[in-house]
Structure formats: structure tokens, C-alpha cells
DNA sequence: TTGAAAGCGCTAACAT
DNA sequence: ATGTTAGCGCTTTCAA
């Protein structure tokens, strides 16, 4: 009873019964007498007995722990997702173990090994930007551990997914730019080996087509970091045919694009309208505030956990499913055009 | 060998030796023959044997898991701390389990219970703004689990701590403003019931005294959110004696102050210099970039984990220690005064 | 209605 | 140099 924790043996000894009887009593087994059950419950209450999760795990082979791999915790979007994961996981009786891949393939592989060797019951992953070999994810599946991808998925692995409707979000963003009068919209695109990079570009292209604007390959530029924007955007502003709208694959890039535009002596949104992706706190603190496509990270986290727990507890046996979270175009200062439409 | 994982038994059976021999061989026990050791190692390699951490935990009573309780993950400062915690913990062979208290006392208490019942080896906590009863922390100590506070500490609990030197950070910030020529510096202050709110104000006051500037109570204004700044700062700018410097208790407030100053038709830093606290990503994306006091969250995380692991592994038996992380005044665009000094 | 025994994977004291 | 045994805390047949 000391050494920190009360065990089932302590209870049994005190009550003069066997450990197995205590165990059954606790589980409400039918063939334990009511009086025994009651005295066990009383003592459990009094001594604050809590079953040891480690012993439970050893028996059941389950840890009630969910592993999560994200590129970076220090990232508003991911921290909202994590927040959602955490909340629902705890409510469902699971714990959460985090690993950051720091956008490094090697660290991602290591994180997978770490989580597997920790015997987590399931794994949630948002893939790094640079991952192009997916064998470490296959290993998860070969071990029979449920795997759910969220946001940054790999299309090479057949598994459950929670994604944002990137294509539609991008379409809406570009549609908005067109609606406010932009005629020469540049897309600062993400890596095309990532689904989100591809989808957002596809949405951009589809919107242009839909509204009969010409598609110019010069207007699709690989640029998804602040550092790149710092180089790319000033180039853009020197073009003979200056862009009047920029749709960036993420908010940080969009913000830096705004800053560069201003540094080049132009105004946002008067000269160039800018729209980002992943509306977060950032979009509120810039001047002007940044129009952006809201991704509902918290919800993504919750849905991903729900899917994962369903798999772990085998609540269904459906083929892999993909849940699509709707995006929402949030118009703020960087694109509220005063120009006539 | 199937069912996912190879066990020591599988190895033993294959080699026709006993499990305990395998165990000893793996540990490099002196009285196992070299040839046996070699064949064990070979098979371990071939079959990818990994010891089951759960069985290890059951034996040792240790889980190699560290519990962390933070107010909010969605918070740049905390996410940097977590990042530091994560990195060092993993390098030291520990896993990390997170709980958010969401600034709620009840959730904090629940988080403590959760972590204790998970049998974590140690706990790191940054206390919520509202916690005034500390018995749940005492329970951690009574269970013999090492406890380390970081950033938001409780002075009622005798334990290891890692804190930021808020007072000196604030002093440096105000000193900087004075150095660049500010004569009328306003402090947008945090809640005075929180240690950080008080310390930062104290640093402000001390700096003014030290440089023989008058201390005006009108210049210390309770304002630590963007919403408040939106109301307070325009008032300030209407004063007969306009402030020429603002030292805000956090970056978000500082950023909104900048925005308000600009909205009132003044320039940053030409008319008013602004300095924040907790230099983060935010400070880079505003225009102008925000001068701020860097808190080194990542380092705080690492130091806290180091302290905790030392306690867990009983590397020393010193009385409770407090590590103070130095802050650093980072001068950026919002205070680079062109004025002569 | 209750208890004894085995076993989850691993280790360590104690044989051989 | 290697094997046997017991036990960490719990559950679950199976026997009483």
C-alpha cells in the first residue's frame, strides 16, 4: 500500500480474499456476491486504488496512447490541430505523445520508430515537406497499427485521412481575387510532391479557367517560405506586367509578400491584393490584416482522432476513408478592393 | 515472432538457449560466452528485436515518460518551450506527454491526476493564471514524483524552477528606449497579481529611476491584450504630452499598439518607439518589425527538462534550485530611432 | 461464490 | 557459462 500505489493485492489481503476476486468484483462480474463487491468498492474508494496502466497494457497489449507526428509545434496551424487532438483524445481516455519532425525526413523516420517502439495504439501524421519515401509509414501498417494522415497526406499510402478541401479553398481564394477585379494573379505555390501544394495550385488553375482568365506558367512560382518570398516577390514587382493579385500557399509567405510589395513602393490592397491560406492569429496582426482561407485546425485534430480511435477500437471495418474539412474564405484588409468590380 | 513483435523468448527458442541467457547477453553480462553473445546479437539484428518498453516499465516501475502541463499550446511562447522540452527529452531517452490546462484551474487539477495515474516519471508545469490553490502540486510531491515549474511558477511550492529574468528584461527594454532618446515612456502593464506582470512593471520603474526620468503613474496602464490596446492607445495619442515610447508587457499588445499609433496618423518608430516582450515569430512579420525582449523559450524548455531528469535519475541531491534564463533585448524596426541621441 | 494458476515480456537472484 | 525461478500488477480460464 505504500511505495506510492495501492495494488489489487493490498485490497485482497486487507479483505482476506484473493486478488482475482477483487479483480472480478471491480469489473462487476456477475458471480461475485453483492456484499463482497460492496466491501471491495468501499476499500478502493478509501485507499484511492487506481489500476496500474502499465500492468493493464502488458496484459492487453494496448497502451491507450496515441502518437502524433507534426512538422513543427511552433506553428499556429499545427498547434490548433494538436489542441483539437488533445482535447478529444483525453475525453476518449487516450493519452497523446508528440514528436516533431522539424520538416526533416530523418527525424520523421526516427519519430515513427520511436512511437512504434513505444507501442502506441495508433499514429497520426502530418508529413514533412521533404518526405518522398514512404516506407516508414508502410512499416506502421505492417505492424498492424492504425494510421491516420491529416492535412499533409501521402497519396501513396492507403489509409484514413483528414484533409482540408485545399482545392476548393484555393478556388475560392482566387475567385475572390477575380471578383474584386484582379486580372493578373500570381500563385506562390508549395512543393508539388505534397498533396496540399498540388491541390492549391489546381484550385488556382481551375478558378482561372472557370472565369476565363489566361493561365500563365510564369505566374505559378514555387515559393512557400518567408525567405523565398523575400527574393521572389521583388522580382515579380519588377515585371513589365505587374501582378495585381497574389494567392500564397500559406500565411507566412503571404505576409512576407505584403511586406515586399510595400518595400517596393506599392500598396496593399490598392496595387496588389494578397490572399493567404491558414487563417490564424497572424492574419489579424499585420497591416493591413490578411485575407486568408481558414482551415479549421482544431476541427481537423478532432476528426483525425475520432477516425483513429474508431480504427483502434475496430468500430467499423470500412475501407480507408477520407474526411474533407470545408475551408472558409475570410476577407480582411489585404484584399478589400475599393476598385469597382 | 509474429503478432507484431519479437520477444526475448523467440530469440531464445531459435537459438536453443534460455530467455535469461538472451537477456544477459544483450546486457553484455561478463559471464556469457562471446560466441553466445554474438549469435544473440546477430539474431536480434536480423529479427529487429526491440525490448518492450511496457514490460520494462512494469519491472522497473519507471515509464521513461515526462508529463507536461501548459496553459495553452496555441501560444508562440509555450510552443517554443515545448519544442525545447521535446528535443532534449527525446535525446535523453524520454517521451513526453502533454496536457493543456487552458488556463482553467479544474483542468489543471485533472491534468495532474491524469499524469499521476499514467505513472509518469516526472512532471513539468507552467501554472494557469487563475490557480491559487496548490494542493494538486503537493500531491505530486507526496507521490515522490519530481516536479519542475517553468515560467509561471508558484512560490508556495518548494521545488525546482526555471524562470525568465523578467525584471531585468523590462529594465533593458526601457533602458533601450531611453538610450534612443525617449523622454515619455508609457508601460502597458500586465495583471499585477501575476509575477510576470509585477516584475516587468518593476523593471520599467527601476529603469526610469536609474536614468533619472520622472515616474508618472499615468504612464503605467493596465493593458495586456489586443482588445485593450485598441481602446487605450488611441487615448494615449490624444494626450497633450504624447508618449514617445511604449513598452508593452507582451508582443501582441505591442503590435496592436503599433497599429493604433499608425491609425492615429503617427509613425513608428519616428514618432513613437515600441518595444514588446517575448520576441517571437510575430515580431518579424509586422511592419515595422517589432523590437522585443527575447525570452528564449526553447532554452527554458531544455533547462527545465534537464533539471527534471537530473532529479528523476537522482544525479544530485541538492535543495530546490531556481534557474534564471537571461533575456535579451532584440532591437528591430519599431525602435531604431534615427533621431540623434 | 470464490480461489489457484498461468501468463503478458523482461530481469535478477539463485541454482547448476 | 547457462538455466531455473520468481515476480512486477493485472486478468482470465479452470477448478473447487
CATH code, B17: 1.10.260.40
Do B194 and B220 touch, CB atoms closer than 8 A? no
Query: What local confidence, expressed as pLDDT, does residue A341 receive?
Result: 41
**pLDDT tens digits along A250-275:** 999 999 999 999 999 999 999 999 99
pLDDT above 90: percentage of residues in chain A: 77
Same domain, A277 and A180: yes
Instruction: Assess if residue B135 is contained within a domain.
Output: yes
Q: Which nucleotide is nearest to B33 (CA to C1')?
A: D1
The reply to whether residue A76 touches residue B74, judged by beta carbons under 8 angstroms, is: yes
Query: What is the DSSP secondary structure assignment for residue A120, as one 8-state letter?
Result: -
Show Cβ contacts of residue B327 under 8 Å, excluding neighbours closer than 6 positions.
B164, B165, B166, B168, B169, B172, B293, B294, B295, B296
Say if the Cβ atoms of B287 and A287 lie within 8 Å: yes
Same domain? For A196 and A219 the reply is yes
More confidently predicted of A206 and A287: A206
Q: What is the pLDDT of residue B339?
A: 47
Is the minimum CB–CB distance between A282 and chain B shorter than 8 Å?
Answer: yes
**Which of A76, A81, A98 to probe the B interface (max B CBs under 10 A)?**
A98
- Is the domain of A291 the same as that of A301? no
Does residue B341 lie in a domain region?
A: no
* Cis before A269? omega within 30: yes
- Same-domain check for residues A291 and A302: no
Instruction: Tell me: do A301 and A321 sit in the same domain.
Output: yes
What residue numbers bound the domain in which A19 lies? 8-51
With a 7 Å cutoff on the CB, does B19 touch strand C? Answer: yes
Res A333: pLDDT: 93
User: Distance (Å) from CA A1 to C1' D14?
Assistant: 30
- The count of CB pairs under 8 A between chains A and B is 107
Q: Residue A113: helix, strand or coil by DSSP?
A: helix
What is the reported pTM?
0.88
> Would residue A1 count as lying in a domain?
no
Q: What is the mean pLDDT of residues A40-61?
A: 91
DSSP per-residue letters across B67-133:
EEEES-SSSHHHHHHHHHHHHHHHHTT-EEEEEE-TT-HHHHHHHHHHHHHTT-SEEEE---SS---
Q: Does A226 touch chain B (CB under 8 A)?
A: yes
Domain tally for chain A? 3
pLDDT for B234 equals 97
Say if residue B191 is in the same domain as residue B254: yes
Specify which residues B325 forms β-bridges with.
Answer: B164
The three-point CA angle A316-A318-A321 to 5° equals 115
What pLDDT is attached to residue B310? 94
Q: For residue A235, how many other CB atoms are within 10 A of its CB?
A: 11
- Protein-covered nucleotides on strand D (Cβ within 7 A): 1-13
Is B159 found in the same domain as B261? no
Is B1 within the bounds of a domain? no
Q: Is the CB of B125 under 7 A from strand C?
A: no
The domain that contains B122 carries what CATH number?
A: 3.40.50.2300
Claim to verify: residue B26 and residue B99 sit in the same structural domain = no
Inside any domain, residue A35: yes
Chain C footprint bases within 7 A of protein beta carbons = 1-13
Q: For residue A201, is it within any domain?
A: yes
pLDDT confidence tier of residue A337, bands split at 50, 70 and 90:
low
What is the pLDDT tens value at each position of chain B, 341 positions in all? Answer: 344 678 999 999 899 998 999 999 998 888 888 889 999 999 999 998 999 999 999 999 899 999 999 999 988 899 999 999 999 999 999 999 999 999 999 999 999 999 998 999 999 999 998 888 999 999 999 888 999 999 998 889 999 999 999 999 999 999 999 999 999 999 999 988 778 899 999 999 999 999 999 999 999 999 999 999 999 999 999 999 999 999 999 999 999 999 999 999 999 999 999 999 987 788 888 888 999 999 999 999 999 999 999 999 987 788 999 999 999 999 999 997 644 44
Is residue B275 situated within a structural domain? yes
Q: Is residue B222 part of a domain?
A: yes
Quick check: A46 pLDDT over 70?
yes
Q: Are residues A90 and A28 in the same domain?
A: no
Let me know whether A176 and A141 are in one domain: no
pLDDT at site A1: 36
Cβ neighbours of A72 (radius 10 Å): 16
Statement to judge: residues B279 and B212 lie in one domain? yes
Q: Is the pLDDT of residue A339 over 50?
A: no
A181 and A244 inside one domain: yes
**Strand C near-CB residues (< 7 Å), A 19-78:** 19-21, 24, 29, 31-33, 35-36, 55, 58-59, 61
Q: Is B209 helix (H, G, I), strand (E, B) or coil?
A: helix
Amino acid at each position: 500500500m505504500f511505495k506510492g500505489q495501492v495494488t489489487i493485492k493490498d485490497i485482497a489481503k486487507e479483505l482476506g480474499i484473493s486478488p482475482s476476486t477483487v479483480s472480478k468484483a471491480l469489473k462487476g462480474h456477475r458471480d461475485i456476491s453483492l456484499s463482497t463487491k460492496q466491501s471491495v468498492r468501499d476499500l478502493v474508494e478509501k485507499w484511492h486504488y487506481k489500476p496500474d496502466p502499465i500492468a493493464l497494457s502488458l496484459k492487453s497489449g494496448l497502451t491507450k496512447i496515441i502518437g502524433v507526428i507534426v512538422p513543427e509545434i511552433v506553428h499556429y496551424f499545427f498547434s490548433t490541430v494538436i489542441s483539437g487532438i488533445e482535447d478529444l483524445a483525453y475525453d476518449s481516455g487516450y493519452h497523446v505523445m508528440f514528436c516533431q519532425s522539424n520538416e526533416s525526413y530523418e527525424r520523421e523516420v526516427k519519430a515513427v520508430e520511436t512511437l512504434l517502439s513505444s507501442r502506441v495504439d495508433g499514429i497520426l501524421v502530418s508529413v514533412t515537406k521533404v518526405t518522398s519515401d514512404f516506407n516508414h509509414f508502410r512499416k506502421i501498417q505492417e505492424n498492424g497499427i492504425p494510421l491516420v494522415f491529416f492535412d499533409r497526406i501521402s497519396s501513396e499510402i492507403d489509409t484514413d485521412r483528414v484533409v482540408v478541401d485545399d482545392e476548393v479553398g484555393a478556388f475560392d481564394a482566387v475567385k475572390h481575387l477575380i471578383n474584386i477585379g484582379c486580372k493578373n494573379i500570381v500563385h506562390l505555390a508549395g512543393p508539388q510532391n505534397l498533396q496540399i501544394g498540388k491541390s492549391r495550385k489546381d484550385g488556382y488553375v481551375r478558378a482561372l479557367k472557370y472565369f476565363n482568365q489566361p493561365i500563365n506558367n510564369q505566374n505559378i512560382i514555387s515559393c512557400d517560405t518567408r525567405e523565398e518570398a523575400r527574393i521572389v516577390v521583388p522580382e515579380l514587382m519588377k515585371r513589365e506586367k505587374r501582378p495585381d493579385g497574389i494567392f500564397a500557399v500559406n500565411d507566412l509567405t503571404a505576409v512576407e509578400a505584403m511586406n515586399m510589395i510595400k518595400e517596393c513602393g506599392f500598396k496593399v490592397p490598392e496595387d496588389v491584393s494578397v490572399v493567404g491560406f491558414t487563417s490564424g492569429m497572424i492574419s489579424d496582426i499585420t497591416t493591413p490584416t490578411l485575407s486568408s482561407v481558414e482551415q479549421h485546425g482544431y476541427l481537423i485534430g478532432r476528426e483525425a482522432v475520432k477516425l483513429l480511435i474508431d480504427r483502434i477500437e475496430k468500430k467499423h471495418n470500412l475501407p480507408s476513408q477520407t474526411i474533407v474539412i470545408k475551408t472558409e474564405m475570410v476577407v480582411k484588409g489585404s484584399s478589400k478592393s475599393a476598385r469597382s468590380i
